[in-house]
Each structure stands twice: as structure tokens, then as C-alpha cells.
Amino acid sequence: MRRLWFCCLIILVASTAVAGCAKRGPDREQVNPGEKIVLKFSHVVAEDTPKGQAALRFARLVAERTGGRVEVQVFPDSVLYKDGEELTALEENKVQLIAPANSKLGEIFPELQIFDLPYAFASVEQAHRALDGEIGKKIAATIGKKNLLVLAYWDNGFKQMTNSRRPLIYPADFYGLTFRVMMNSNVLEEQFRSFGAKAVQLPFNEVYKALASGMLDGQENTASNIKSKKFHEVQRYLTISNHGFLGYVVLTNEKFWHSLPEDTRKILEETMAEVTAWERKEAQELNERDLAEIKASGKVKIHVQTEEERQVWKKVWEPLYDQFMPVIGPDLIEALRAL
């Protein structure tokens, strides 16, 4: 009887070990063929945003195309890591995919602040040409020096201005107000200072509370982020200015990525390219839908910037290009102007 019990125990332990290996995530330097591969994808925005929807779509397509052998687990809304924590988690291989806003990498990679320059792009299509062309390639090469691999550039279109105090039509209307800006971008801080406003860096998941409490007067964001986070419910005024481009860089740990089997990497890369094209189209459509819903809510007074007003804003902000040229790099600034 004791011998039978001992044999059963051995079988149970062996079965558990096999099951554990089958479900193990990417915690070694080398992923063995046949093992289930788990990639954790962490981001800080809501699921009903272009980035949130793209992450889910990527996860679904990868599961389908690998027959379930690769599982992408998506963690939205800062449930796993907040702004400022994601990059460290990626470097330590605690997550395998992140998609931070370009601005949030500005401290480590100052070149990325090129995307924060006001009125840098006249259209979303122009921004895509920059990302897919010389500018995007140079930035990817710079990021690659830190054992990070750029898989794609996603976007959320253009940012608008909101605040709870007064309509924002001319630079003087910003004077004395306090605005939230994304982490690690000196360009965004100077953008508001140029208008006589105060800029406060704050993680995205803390913005609604700061606006609702009156700690902040306003913020800048895309329509989809404003709608999904309900900023329009605590902000009385919105200016359609399209003054800033909000882009994301999809990153992975290079060492981890090259530990994956080649056929798996091929599926992931092809799927990422497909999802990137879809995400860019979805961003434009979702922003249009969400802006229409914000208007229909009747909770904000909306001002659409005129060309004359735009030129006034641009004139005040133009010196920022020369001010940040030594930080961003003359070659990137010239490439931007060449667009």
C-alpha cells in the first residue's frame, strides 16, 4: 500500500512539472520550441482607445495565428505598471511589450521630444511619413543602443486643449493657469511656459482626479483620451487646436525578442505591421466619433481654432525649435522641416 501511494505521488509531481513547463512564460534566456510563450503587454490608457484596441487586436490575432502557442496578455489602464515604471519593467523582462507615448521617453532619449514640438506636423499623414521614414529610423537606432527594440510606431492623432476656467483662444488666455503635461518632456513644459501658464508633470492615471479636485486647471489630449477618461465631465472649455501630435512607440526587450524562435518572431512582426496600419486608421475614426460624442454631451463649450489664431500661437512657439535643437539634434530638426 505504501509503495502504491509513493508511486502515485511520483506521477503527480511529474505531471505538475510538465504542466508548469507547458504554461511557463518567457523567463529564460532561451525559449524552447514547443513551449507555450506568454508575452505581457502593459499600457496606461483605457481599452476603448486606439492603443487599447490595437493591443487587444494584436493579442487576438497572435493567438489565432500561432494556434494558441503564443499568448499576449494585455494589461491596460496602468493596472500593472504606471507611467515611469513600464520601461524599467521592460528592461527587467517583467513585461515584454509596452507602448509609451513618445514624450515619456524624452528623459532617456531626448530625440523623441521632436514629436512634442508644437505644430510639428500639418497632418497625420505627414506624421506617418516622419515615423516611417528617416526620422523614425534614426530614433529606432538610438533606442536600440539601450537593448530596446522598436517594433512599431502607433499614434492617437492630434491633441486639443481643455480647461475649467475660460476659453483658450489667444496665448494670453493661458496666463496663470496650471496644465498637466506628460512625464519627461521639457518641450511640453516650455510650450505652456511660453504662454504664461504653469506645467505640471503627472502620470496619466492621476489626471482625472487632479482636474476634478481643481489641483489642475487644464490639460492637452486627443478626443479619444478625453472621452475615455471623462475629462470632458470636469473641464468646461475645449479648444480644437490640433497643436500637438500624440504618438506611441511599441517597444520590446531586444534580448528577449531574439530568444524567441525565428518562426514565432516572423508571425509577431507581420502581425504587428498589420495591426499598426489598422491602429492608425482606427485612431482617426475613433477621435472623430469621440469628439462628436463630447459635443453632443453638452458639457463643454467648444472653440474651433481659426487660421489667424493658429498663426498667433505658432509665432509664440516658433523659438522652441531653435531652443531645443541642441537637445533633439540639428539633423532631426532639419529632417522635420524638410517634410
- Domain count along the chain: 1
What confidence score (pLDDT) does residue 183 get?
A: 87
> Is residue 129 scored above 70 in pLDDT?
yes
Among 45, 39, 92, 40, smallest CA distance to 248 is for: 45
pTM for this prediction: 0.85
- Model confidence over 202-223: pLDDT tens digits? 999 999 999 999 999 999 999 9
Look over the chain and give the mean of its residue pLDDT values, rounded to a whole number: 90
DSSP β-ladder status, 70-75 and 301-304: unpaired
Is residue 286 a part of any domain in this protein?
Answer: yes
Q: How far is CA 95 from CA 14, 52, 255, in A?
A: 29, 16, 13
What confidence score (pLDDT) does residue 260 get?
A: 97
Angle at 46 between CA 236 and CA 301, to 5 degrees: 15
Pair 157, 283: CB distance under 8 Å? yes
Which residues contact residue 251 at a Cβ distance below 8 angstroms, ignoring those fewer than 6 apart? 87, 90, 97, 98, 99, 100, 143, 148, 149, 150, 151
Beta-bridge partner residues of 249: 153
Is residue 16 a part of any domain in this protein?
Answer: no
C-alpha count within 13 angstroms, C-beta hemisphere, residue 70? 26
Residue type, 329: G
Distance CA 252, CA 250 (A): 7
Is residue 11 a part of any domain in this protein?
Answer: no
Taking the CA atoms of residue 21, residue 23, residue 26 and residue 27 in that order, the dihedral angle to the nearest 10 degrees is -50
Is residue 14 a part of any domain in this protein?
Answer: no
- Model confidence over 162-175: pLDDT tens digits? 999 999 999 999 99
Is residue 300 a part of any domain in this protein?
Answer: yes
Pair 74, 59: CB distance under 8 Å? yes
Distance CA 291, CA 305 (A): 15
Task: Supply φ then ψ for residue 22, to 5 degrees.
Answer: -65, -30
Distance CA 138, CA 328 (A): 11
Residue 78 φ/ψ region, left for φ over 0, alpha for ψ in the -120 to 50 degree band, beta for the rest: left
Quick one: cell of 17?
Answer: 512539472
Q: Per-residue pLDDT averaged across 224-250, rounded?
A: 96
Is residue 267 a part of any domain in this protein?
Answer: yes
Q: How far is CA 284 from CA 36, 44, 251, 279, in A?
A: 35, 20, 22, 9
Q: Per-residue pLDDT averaged across 177-202, rounded?
A: 96
* Enclosing domain of residue 269: 24-338
CATH number at residue 44: 3.40.190.170
- Model confidence over 70-122: pLDDT tens digits? 999 999 999 999 887 999 999 999 999 999 999 889 889 999 999 999 999 99
Among 85, 49, 81, smallest CA distance to 226 is for: 49
Is residue 9 a part of any domain in this protein?
Answer: no
Angle at 243 between CA 111 and CA 102, to 5 degrees: 30
Share of the chain residues as helix, strand and coil, in percent rounded to the nearest 5:
50, 20, 30
Is residue 157 a part of any domain in this protein?
Answer: yes
- Model confidence over 281-308: pLDDT tens digits? 999 999 999 999 999 999 999 999 999 9
